[in-house]
Amino acid sequence: MKKIGLYIEYFDPPHKIHIENAHQLLGEEELEEIIFIPAGNNNFQHSARHITKPAYRLEMCLKELNKETKLSLSDIGIQKDSPMHWIDVLDEFYMVYPARYTLIVNGNDINNIATPRSSQKRDVLDKLIICTHSLKTDEMFLNKLPEWLVNKARIFRIDTKLPSSEDIKDKCKKKLPISGLMKQDTERYIIEKKLYLD
């Protein structure tokens, strides 16, 4: 059965570290494809920060994923712009295309992954990858997961020296250059739409 990754976060903005993470996970997890899923502005319960409009984030993802043969894009998170648990997305993908699915999420969004009642989906979920810049221990992340999910989880450490989406937004606000942090088309789109200036 095909192995597919579902990479779920805001992608606000998407940038080269997202792409590099995806390529690394394609190899390490032996995935045949990773689908980027930008989250809706209201998908995550913790969200109080300003998130860019979904249409802008979707367009930036299209530009950042251009010519990526094993990385694709879905707007299912934006279509379901309401609080939800990401493991529930698996059902919709599985009904259309049965596969072994790996969820790839941001460590900040760990509370939105699953509930104890989600355990009936254990056979659909192959693995959970938690991406983080944080220096928190693995246990601090794993302790927040339902017991049935802990054995499927892996913490994917991102070098703290590498820029995050928040770092890029801060550069834009300060009118500092962001070239080299994403594809040129994405950078041009940010400048054209005057994103992240306030």
The DSSP-derived string for 82-100 is S---GGGHHHHHHHHS--E
In a domain, residue 173? The reply is no
In a domain, residue 175? The reply is no
Rounded Cα–Cα distance for residues 66 and 62 (Å): 6
In a domain, residue 51? The reply is yes
In a domain, residue 30? The reply is yes
Mean pLDDT of 62-74: 97
Asked if the model's pLDDT at residue 46 lies above 60, the reply is no
Among 33-42, 67-76, 181-190, whose mean pLDDT is lowest?
33-42
Mean pLDDT of 162-186: 94
In a domain, residue 119? The reply is yes
Which CATH number is 36's domain given? 3.40.50.620
Asked if the model's pLDDT at residue 179 lies above 70, the reply is yes
Asked if the model's pLDDT at residue 120 lies above 60, the reply is yes
In a domain, residue 111? The reply is yes
Rounded Cα–Cα distance for residues 139 and 5 (Å): 23
The structural domain count of the chain equals: 1
Query: Is there a contact between 10 and 165 (Cβ–Cβ < 8 Å)?
Result: yes
In a domain, residue 19? The reply is yes
Residue numbers of the domain that contains 142: 3-160
How confident is the model at residue 78, as a pLDDT? 87
Which residue stretches of the chain are H helix? 16-28, 54-64, 76-79, 89-96, 138-142, 147-150, 165-173, 184-193
* Residue 100 pLDDT class (50, 70, 90 cuts): very high
How confident is the model at residue 121, as a pLDDT? 66
Asked if the model's pLDDT at residue 176 lies above 70, the reply is yes
Whether residue 13 has a cis bond before it, omega within 30° of 0? yes
Rounded Cα–Cα distance for residues 90 and 186 (Å): 29
Mean pLDDT of 43-56: 73
In a domain, residue 183? The reply is no
pLDDT tens digit sequence for 13-22? 999 999 999 9
